[in-house]
Amino acid sequence: MKLQITDAAVKWFEDEMNVGPDQTAAIRFYGKLYGRTKVHHGFSIALARELQPHNFGVKVEKDGVTFYIEEDDLWFFKGYDLEVDYDPEKDPDNVQYEWTENGEL
């Protein structure tokens, strides 16, 4: 499973969630009950600003910001790579998620 964060998304997280090279906080992605994604029914993707990130299953550092998925949450992403992007034309308030099958299933 690959986790990719676009430059536009990094900027959005810096502005909206107070993370950046001078901060110790990281962004964690995980699945939560209820909702829907393009590949899950009954679950949606969630994110949290974590002050003490740990238990890395997948970790990406970009522009001094750590983005990660905990080992215990990898089940939600199995079979897919995830790209996180921000495009104000699509949604001026939130990031978007693009799921790509990766053959793990």
pLDDT on residue 101: 95
CA distance 50 to 55: 12
Give the bridge partners for 11, in sequence order: none
Asked whether residue 91 carries a pLDDT value surpassing 80, the answer given is yes
Residue ranges and CATH numbers for the domains of the chain are 3-101 (2.60.300.12)
Q: Hey, is 100 helix, strand or coil? A: strand
pLDDT on residue 39: 81
Helical (H) or strand (E) element with 13: helix 7-17
What is this structure's pTM?
Answer: 0.92
Among 30, 3, 25, 1, which residue's Cα sits nearest to residue 13?
A: 25
Q: Are 10 and 62 in contact (CB under 8 A)?
A: yes
Average pLDDT, the chain: 93
Highest mean pLDDT among 30-34, 39-43, 56-60: 56-60
